[in-house]
């Protein structure tokens, strides 16, 4: 029962609350902002109300909209170069996980020397970054409350994790109105990303009572709301619940870390440039099947949280329902049942295994995992064998 729980991020939620970010920044003395986003968010008009509020509050800003999916070190360092030419007093991220992760990297590299890949690992960032405020526009990554950023090394095709308390955003504004027009396929990918975070956090060897509570409630919220958010889209209540659930899952895994799904999905993203949420969702049932013998009670709890009736069943039978529930959600949301359909090739299997085993997530996966185990999970996921 010895554990620490630390989240320094101040979280503000509410419909339309993103419009108040400018006044909030101004009240803190932040009057020159470097705004990090991607062209999709900008072209969708999501920035308009935020820009208007910045202008009304007389907060000057420069927009860096060159964020790419699976952010690379080069892309982040380009942002750093543009930030240093502008000399802002804070950073503002508006977008999904890629925008927030990129902004995290830019904020810390504004005050630290060298290249961002110099800080791969845990606790290697020496100095705090610029103050960072984030406004997520998807309900998936939970990056608004985590102490990590994932950066692709394009030379090695490896997604490096940089973990430091200095990577926690200073403030997070959760505004469900910004997610209303999210395309259904992104709703599915990001929502299942959040579910993966919650499930892996809940079953992690590094979990604690507080992170378990956050994770299990996030699982329940996602199970009740993801399909309505996907099929209806404009239902503001389900959108709000998904946004909060994503935050809770992020808060959970910021304490407990994750497991084999992320070890493998980061590898697939680095090698094949596959969207992170889709990779997670597709892999999740296969890793749950592998992990079941190590944590059947927790898997049975996951099944109940997802609405499965486990009355009269053995613990193992209840646990198996969790896997079936995730499979059904994937099918309902149009997510492939195997990684072959994502563009994965087994020609690179040795590299996929080697890179996956480099992840610290393997060490805290609930079931002891060897390279042969990772190979078997990837092969099963490729062939769709559960």
- pLDDT for 352 equals 96
What fold is seen in the domain 10-179?
Answer: Rossmann fold (3.40.50)
- pLDDT for 358 equals 92
Q: Across the beta sheet with 90-95, what order do the strands follow?
A: 10-13, 171-174, 132-136, 90-95, 32-36, 60-64
Of the chain, the end-to-end C-alpha distance in Å amounts to 35
- pLDDT for 341 equals 97
- pLDDT for 88 equals 97
The pLDDT tens digits along the chain (386 residues) read: 688 888 999 999 999 999 999 988 988 899 999 999 999 999 999 999 999 999 988 999 999 999 998 899 999 999 999 999 999 999 999 999 999 999 999 999 999 999 999 999 999 999 999 999 999 999 988 999 999 999 999 998 888 899 999 999 999 999 999 999 899 999 999 999 999 999 999 999 999 999 999 999 999 999 999 999 999 999 999 999 999 999 999 999 999 999 999 999 999 998 998 999 999 999 999 999 999 999 999 999 999 999 999 999 999 999 999 999 999 999 999 999 999 999 999 999 999 999 999 999 999 999 999 999 999 999 999 999 98
Write the CATH number of the domain with boundaries 184-383: 1.20.1090.10
d(CA 113, CA 46): 33
* Main-chain phi, psi angles of 93, to 5 degrees: -110, 130
Give the burial class of 385: count Cβ atoms within 10 A of its Cβ; 0-12 exposed, 13-18 middle, 19 or more buried: exposed
d(CA 27, CA 303): 46
Please check whether residue 21 is in contact with residue 135, taking contact to mean a CB–CB distance below 8 angstroms.
yes
Chain centroid to CA 117:
19
- pLDDT for 48 equals 92
pTM to 2 decimal places: 0.94
- pLDDT for 9 equals 95
Give the burial class of 114: count Cβ atoms within 10 A of its Cβ; 0-12 exposed, 13-18 middle, 19 or more buried: exposed
- pLDDT for 28 equals 87
- pLDDT for 181 equals 87
- pLDDT for 2 equals 80
Per-domain residue ranges for the chain?
A: 10-179, 184-383
């Amino acid at each position: 029962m010895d554990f620490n729980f630390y989240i320094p991020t101040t979280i503000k939620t509410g419909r339309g609350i993103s419009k108040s970010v400018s006044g909030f920044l101004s009240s803190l003395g932040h009057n020159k902002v470097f705004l990090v986003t991607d062209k999709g968010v900008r072209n969708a008009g999501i920035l308009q109300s935020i820009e208007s509020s910045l202008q009304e509050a007389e907060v000057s800003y420069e927009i860096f909209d060159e964020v790419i999916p699976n952010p690379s070190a080069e892309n982040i360092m380009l942002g750093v170069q543009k930030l240093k030419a502008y000399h802002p007093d804070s950073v503002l991220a508006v977008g999904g996980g890629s925008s927030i992760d990129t902004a995290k990297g830019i904020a810390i590299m504004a005050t630290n020397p060298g290249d961002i890949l110099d800080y791969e690992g845990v606790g290697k960032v020496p100095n705090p970054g610029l103050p960072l405020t984030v406004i997520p526009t998807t309900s998936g990554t939970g990056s608004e409350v985590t102490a990590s950023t994932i950066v692709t090394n394009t030379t090695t095709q490896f997604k490096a994790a940089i973990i430091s308390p200095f990577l926690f955003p200073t403030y997070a504004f959760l505004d469900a109105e910004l997610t209303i027009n999210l395309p259904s396929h992104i709703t599915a990918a990001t929502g299942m990303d959040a579910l993966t975070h919650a499930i892996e956090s809940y079953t992690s060897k590094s979990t604690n009572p507080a992170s378990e509570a956050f994770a299990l409630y996030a699982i329940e919220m996602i199970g009740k709301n993801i399909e309505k958010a996907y099929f209806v889209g404009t239902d503001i209540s389900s959108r709000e619940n998904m946004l909060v659930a994503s935050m809770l899952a992020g808060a959970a895994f910021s304490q407990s870390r994750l497991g084999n799904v992320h070890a493998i999905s980061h590898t697939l993203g680095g090698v094949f440039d596959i969207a992170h949420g889709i990779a997670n969702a597709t892999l999740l049932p296969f890793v749950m099947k592998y992990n079941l013998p190590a944590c059947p009670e927790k898997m049975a709890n996951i099944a109940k949280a997802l609405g499965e009736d486990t009355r009269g069943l053995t613990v193992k039978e209840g646990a198996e329902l969790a896997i079936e529930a995730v499979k059904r959600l994937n099918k309902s949301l149009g997510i492939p049942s195997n990684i072959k359909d994502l563009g994965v090739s087994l020609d690179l299997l040795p590299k996929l295994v080697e890179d996956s085993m480099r992840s610290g997530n393997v060490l805290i996966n609930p079931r002891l995992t060897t390279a042969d185990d990772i190979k078997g999970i990837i092969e099963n996921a490729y062939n769709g064998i559960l």
